[in-house]
Amino acid sequence: MNWGNRLVLVFLVFGAGMGYLVYRSMNTDYELVESDYYKQELRYQHVIDEHKSANALSAAVNIEKKEGALLLQFPEEMKNKSLTGELYFYCAYDSKKDKRVSLQSDSNGVQTIPAGTILPGSYTVKIKWSNGEKSYYSEQNLSVL
């Protein structure tokens, strides 16, 4: 095989490789962090203020796995208060696993979530709640097995 044929072969292999890379890049699914990312970015200062309010509490919100359920414990200041809000289980690598749960804590500031509600995976739990006077926001990482 002479050098001209080798050169043509190199160009063909290079062209086929580039074609394969273009094909793969066109068929890759890229998900945004949130579907309304830009709208949420515009009101992010509100989230920062709520996060500061949550950090000013005596303790952080605690999430732990116990006896086949997830147990959400609010700080002492939230006991005997009517709390409203939402828990958002955000799975970064699979939006089909994302789950929203409305906040329904008891008088001790505890909410129990059955384990079957949340699929196995690694989550960022975004907790947004209000006690009627002030709004709070907290994030925690959680692995569900």
pLDDT in tens, 103-131: 988 888 899 998 788 889 899 999 999 98
Q: Across all residues in the chain, what is the average pLDDT?
A: 89
- The answer to whether residue 117 sits within a structural domain is yes
| 48, pLDDT greater than 80 | yes
The structural domain count of the chain equals 1
**pTM across the whole model:** 0.73
**How many whole angstroms from its chain centre is CA 60?**
18
Domain that holds residue 75: 50-144
Domain of 135, CATH number, reads 2.60.40.10
The answer to whether residues 132 and 82 touch, using CB atoms and an 8 Å cutoff, is yes
- The answer to whether residue 44 sits within a structural domain is no
Residues 88 and 24: their CA atoms lie apart, in Å, by 32
125 burial via Cβ count (<10 Å: 0-12, 13-18, 19+): buried
| Tokens matching residue 19 | 């074609």
pLDDT in tens, 5-25: 999 999 999 999 999 999 999
